[in-house]
């Protein structure tokens, strides 16, 4: 992908950079966020406090699960429901 931005040198932009409008809804750093996560074939239990590494483009960031909500669809599939 390539783009042309006025007054910005290609040397000023690195892989993984985020582009946004600085005057209208600029990108901001987040201390927390809400996400819908699909976990497949995980060998252990996952609960609040679990800290997986999130890979986003070229960044690798540890993110702690503060709270987990299991959907009805996941419970029907046998995930996150009550143990028998």
Domains: count for the chain: 1
pLDDT in tens, 8-21: 887 887 777 777 88
76 in a domain, yes or no? no
54 in a domain, yes or no? yes
pTM: 0.54
Confidence of residue 84 (pLDDT cuts 50, 70, 90): very low
45 in a domain, yes or no? yes
pLDDT in tens, 20-50: 888 888 888 888 888 888 887 888 888 999 9
83 in a domain, yes or no? no
| Cα–Cα dist 81/3, whole Å | 47
17 in a domain, yes or no? no
Question: Range of 66's domain?
Answer: 35-71
Q: What are phi and psi of 72, to 5 degrees?
A: -65, -35
29 in a domain, yes or no? no
């Amino acid at each position: 992908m390539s783009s042309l931005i006025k007054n910005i040198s290609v040397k000023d932009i690195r892989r993984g950079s985020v582009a946004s409008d600085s005057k209208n809804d600029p990108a901001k750093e987040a201390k927390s966020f809400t996400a819908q996560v699909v976990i497949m074939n995980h060998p252990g239990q996952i609960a609040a406090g679990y800290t997986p590494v999130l890979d986003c483009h070229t960044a690798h960031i540890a993110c702690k699960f503060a709270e987990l909500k299991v959907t009805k669809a996941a419970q029907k599939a046998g995930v996150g429901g009550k143990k028998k």
